[in-house]
Amino acid sequence: GVAPAALNLISGGDAYTPLTIDPAKENRLNHVIFVVGRLKDGISIAQAQAEMNNISTHLGEQYPEIRDWGIHLITIFDTFVSPQLKTGLLVLLWAVAFVLLIACANIANLLLARAATRENEIAVRTSIGASRGRLVRQLLVESIVLSLVGGVCGLLGALWAVRALNHALPPNTLPIPIVEIDATVLWFALGSTLLTGLLFGVAPAWRTAQVDLSLVLKHGGRGSATGISAGFRKSLAAVELALATVLLIGAGLFLRSLANLEHVRLGFNPHGVISFQLAPPTAKYPLNSKAPQFYRALLDSLQSIPGVRGAAVSTGIPFGVGNYTTHPMITSEQSVLPPDTAVPIDWRIVSPGYFKAMSIPLLQGRDFTDADGPSASPVMIISQATAKKFWGDADPIGHTLRRSADPRTAFTVVGVVGDVRSTTLTQESPALYYPMAIRVWPLMDIVVRANGLPEALLPAVRQKVHEFDVELALANVRTMEQWLSNSAAQPRLNTLLLSVFASVALLIASIGIYGVLAYSVSQRTGEIGVRMALGATPRGVLRLIVGEGMKVVLIGIGAGLAGGLVVGRAVSSLVFGVPVRDPVTFTAVAVVLAAVAIAACVIPALRASRVDPIVALRNE
């Protein structure tokens, strides 16, 4: 069959095959299948969970080895959209809202300034019979038309940005493969455009319609930069700067966090390693007999390639898409934990030489050997964090861990390796490793460490695999550096988008403070001319205008820094190695904003300092 072109399954894939049943997949301890289901109408998750609990209890009575296991239902959304991703999306949504507010405040400021210049026109209209309601409607229509033009331009920019984003994102960055603009987004954009045009056009329209005929005729139609109107415009500029400060602080925290993630200690050396996946057909390579022999022979062949320093097999690699899971471990021996305390531990199955191939240090004990097979005593190697969790600073070698209350699930610790960041860059998880000789899964990861560039070995690696079976295909062929880069794709995307929003906000806020001062200077030309005629120097006028602007700037930055403290706490789960009150970030943001704001203030101030007092007084 052929699936619809619009089908975008969360797990990806280009071809789908039916699930076949074999003895390995009927193993009660095999948990490689992802099960999905649709609830009947009127059935809640709580009701379904209660039913699954009954089934789990019944299965535990039949099969003691899974007695301590359970079934937990979770929605598809919660499965693939983690709490961290939810928080990141909310932060970006708030960032968009802040940029929109800044832009609207800026437009409102411009409309207020324009309203002051149209006082004479409005006075004439009022004097010949135009009602206040009609004037407000006309001005609101102008505001809505302006917002619609901006909305269309924004939509065109969004279409380009979404297309560029989908092409730039690495695979599996987002739980939904394609980000697109659909009818819902278009309706939301239209509604937001109309709403913002109305909300931020009402105040300028109402202010313009409340013209005082006698005052306008007395001043000859010239507006004034003093009073409530001027103060309100400065307040809007301060709000713009405050919101821009908050966004810049958020972007700064994300940038610092991303830098920490890119230099974090991994516990292994990703350089020079290439990985791929193999899934030999179980009918040809039974998992409990021929498959382990196949992988041992394949590893010997791969290690014979010139330039290969090591090769190994695993059920999963750090930050990869292989089989990697967690199950509870308990111990009845002397431990720092209460007896039979179950601790979730990440685990994987590896071949001898895996730790050498990945450059994971062996701290105590020994590595696996081919002798660690089904007929030998069950053994395992644990990470340092696992050892400390169960036995503190005591020597863990020789102690045992069990997967359930069944003594047959006990494994003896024969080695301790360093901690590895495997699923997230932000923390090291306790881990344990089983020898490949006891079990092989249908899908396995192979890692090959090269002396030089790992990509150069790929043709020889493919040839060696095809020498064993020409029908075998290498899947998910990537270097460890590529896997590592993909693991940081989500925080990198968050940082990029938030930085873009913060930069746009800074630009708009700078234009806002410039516009307020430029309009003030244009309206106060006569006053400035009088000051200079009475002895004021250009330097004094420059200080006057810059000082007025800096009062607005300092109020805005101060409020923004206070808001940044709230933002820091809100994004604390998204940043790594950065305090929420990071002095470096707060200081850098304040300095950058002050510098940009001073530049925005200086331009109109220079224009004011060059006013010719004679020309200014003649115009008055």
Give me the pLDDT at residue 87, please: 81
Alpha-carbon distance of 449 to 392, in angstroms, equals 33
Please give the Cα distance from 541 to 537 (Å, whole number): 6
With 70 as the cut, is the pLDDT of residue 333 above it? no
Closest by CA to 370, choosing from 438, 289, 444, is: 438
Going by pLDDT thresholds of 50, 70 and 90, the confidence category of residue 225 is very low
Asked if residues 295 and 440 have their Cβ atoms less than 8 Å apart, the reply is yes
Supply the pLDDT for residue 57: 86
CA R_g for the chain: 34
In the predicted structure, residue 582 carries a pLDDT above the cut 80: yes
- Of 47-61, 99-113, 155-169, 604-618, highest mean pLDDT: 47-61
H or E element that contains 362: strand 362-365
| Cα–Cα distance list, 305 to 17, 74, 298, 351, 464 (Å) | 34, 46, 11, 19, 9
pLDDT computed for residue 227 by the predictor: 44
3-state secondary structure of 310: strand
| CA 200 from centroid of its chain's CA atoms | 31
Q: Which residues contact 537 (CB under 8 A, 6 or more apart)?
A: none
pLDDT recorded at residue 572: 83
Apex CA 505: angle with CA 499 and CA 511, to 5°?
Answer: 140
pLDDT band at 347; cut points 50, 70, 90: confident
Secondary structure of 566-620 in HEC code, one letter for each residue: HHHHHCCCCCCCCCCCCHHHHHHHHHHHHHHHHHHHHHHHHHHHCCCHHHHHHHC
CA angle (103, 106, 109) in 5-degree steps? 155
The residue among 615 and 441 whose pLDDT is bigger is 441
Q: How confident is the model at residue 517 (pLDDT cuts 50, 70, 90)?
A: confident
Q: Assess contact for 32 and 441: CB atoms under 8 A.
A: yes
Residue 296 amino acid letter: R
Q: What is the mean pLDDT of the chain?
A: 81
Q: Give the other-Cβ count within 10 Å of 309's Cβ.
A: 15
Phi and psi at residue 401, to the nearest 5°? -130, 145
Q: Tell me: pLDDT of 218 over 60.
A: no
Question: What's the token pair of residue 94?
Answer: 């708030």
Residue 13 is encoded by which pair of tokens? 């894939």
**Number of alpha carbons in the 13 Å side-chain half-sphere of residue 197:** 21
d(CA 171, CA 173): 6
Closest among 295, 284, 275, 274 to 440, alpha carbons compared: 295
Is residue 327 a contact partner of residue 344, using CB atoms and an 8 Å limit?
yes
Distance (Å, whole) CA 238 – CA 554:
8
Judging by DSSP bridges, how do beta strands 379-383 and 273-278 pair with one another?
Answer: unpaired
Q: Quick check: 547 pLDDT over 90?
A: no
Q: How far apart are alpha carbons 118 and 113 in whole angstroms?
A: 9
From the list 176, 204, 237, the residue with the least C-alpha distance to 115 is 204
For residues 19-41, average pLDDT: 69
pLDDT digits (tens, 9 = 90+) for 489-513: 888 888 888 899 999 998 888 888 8
Q: Does pLDDT of 236 surpass 80?
A: yes
Q: Report the alpha-carbon distance of residue 130 to residue 138 in Å, rounded.
A: 11
pLDDT of residue 445: 92
The predicted pLDDT at position 361 comes to 94
Rounded CA-CA distance 312/299 in Å is 6
